[in-house]
Amino acid sequence: MTEPTMTVLSLGAGVQSSTIALMACDGTLPKPDAAIFADTGWEPRQVYAHLDRLAVELGQAGIPLHRVSNGNLRADAIDPAHRYASVPYFVRNPDGSAGMGRRQCTSEYKLVPIKRKIRELLGATAPAFRRVPKGRVAEQWIGFSTDEIHRVSDKLDVLYLTPRYPLLDLGMSRKDCQRWLERRGWGDTAKSACIGCPFHGNRQWRELRDNSPEEWADAVEFDREIRKGGSRGMPLNGEAFLHSSRIPLDIAPIDKVTRGEWRDRQGDLLDLIEDGDPDGCSPYGCRSGGAA
Ligand code: SF4
């Protein structure tokens, strides 16, 4: 196996990758040669503010932060002429049955620009940055914690990348990361995800509605706009929704259910409805495809 010529951190700006970034800044971990954040253009203000704060720490530690993008997911998702932006909407088919849109957004808006940047850093030439010079390999740090071990894959789809999981090496869970961040004054680090991600649970929708009215209004508007399809590939016959109930977001049942109602229902499924995808949107843990 070729020895890595550089180390890059895939920085999603959520709990786990922020922990790695700050550990690299304080010397707990060695410094990577670069950190890369893939911007879908539709993260909440809180995430961008967190990223700006991280950028200062990284800058002081001498770790370059690259913000990369493959377009604006929100704009592309409602552009009928656009090729990508296939978002995993909840779909009601014309016969009333339930369906789900394909999740390609993570790959197109996160994996693709991150890999392009890594190829560039490894010496691939402009404008396409396709071909990495022979013998150049990047060790890519990915923020999977011990509770996400199921996301680890040995599958290598490109020869210029070799993955490493610093939190697994340290035996740290997501909770450990949260505690570590809290002790250092970063306790408000949030899960990073697009404002209108269908994987939000009710808790995230409520937080958006109650604490970020403008972003909530944006998500409600977007939910209306996708009803009859968006970018190419969306079903034109069915109806698409952001909320799992397949009800318009502004009237969807996102408020808390009573204790009695909880008792009457099963645990796991409702946990998912309440909390959303527990793992958030990791570029390297996309459920629509294999980890890369
Ligand atoms: S946060 Fe949601 S909408 Fe955004 S890229 Fe990830 S899966 Fe797609």
The length of the chain, given as a count of residues: 292
Our mutation pick for probing the ligand 1 site, out of 74, 103, 200, counting the most ligand atoms within 8 A of Cβ, is 103
**Which tokens sit at 177?**
């990361």
273 lines ligand 1 (CB under 6 A): no
Q: What is the C-alpha to C-alpha distance for residues 219 and 247, in angstroms, rounded to an integer?
A: 14
**285 falls within a domain:** no
Query: 129 Cβ partners below 8 Å, 6+ apart?
Result: 116, 117, 119, 120
Quick one: which of 33, 30, 6 has its CA closest to 122?
6
**281 falls within a domain:** no
pLDDT at site 152: 85
pLDDT at site 237: 73
DSSP code of residue 108 = I
Distance of CA 281 from the midpoint of ligand 1 (Å): 6
Q: What is the C-alpha to C-alpha distance for residues 145 and 27, in angstroms, rounded to an integer?
A: 19
* Relative orientation angle of helices 15-26 and 45-61, to the nearest 10 degrees: 20
Structural domain that includes position 39: 6-275
Our mutation pick for probing the ligand 1 site, out of 10, 281, 286, 287, counting the most ligand atoms within 8 A of Cβ, is 281
Q: What is the C-alpha to C-alpha distance for residues 35 and 182, in angstroms, rounded to an integer?
A: 22
- Ligand 1 nearest atom to the CA of residue 199, by list position: 2
Q: What is the C-alpha to C-alpha distance for residues 75 and 56, in angstroms, rounded to an integer?
A: 29
Q: What is the C-alpha to C-alpha distance for residues 140 and 201, in angstroms, rounded to an integer?
A: 30
The amino acid present at 256, given as its one-letter code, is K
**20 falls within a domain:** yes
**291 falls within a domain:** no
**84 falls within a domain:** yes
HSE-up (13 A, CA, CB side) for residue 25: 20
* Contact between 212 and 45 (Cβ < 8 Å): yes
138 lines ligand 1 (CB under 6 A): no
**Hunting for tokens 């390297």 — which residue is that?**
284
* Contact between 230 and 104 (Cβ < 8 Å): no
87 lines ligand 1 (CB under 6 A): yes
DSSP code of residue 258 = P
**288 falls within a domain:** no
**37 falls within a domain:** yes
pTM over 0.95: no
What three-state secondary structure class fits 32?
Answer: coil
Q: Considering only CA atoms, which residue is closest to atom 1 of ligand 1?
A: 193
Full pLDDT tens readout for the chain, 292 residues: 678 999 999 999 999 999 999 999 999 999 999 999 999 999 999 999 999 999 999 999 999 999 999 999 999 998 888 776 688 999 998 899 998 888 889 999 999 999 999 999 999 999 889 999 999 999 999 999 999 888 887 676 799 999 999 999 999 999 999 999 999 999 999 888 999 999 999 999 999 999 999 999 999 999 999 998 765 555 557 899 999 999 999 999 999 665 655 665 555 555 556 666 554 566 665 433 332 2
At 86, which CATH number?
3.40.50
Distance of CA 49 from the midpoint of ligand 1 (Å): 19
User: Total structural domains in the chain?
Assistant: 1
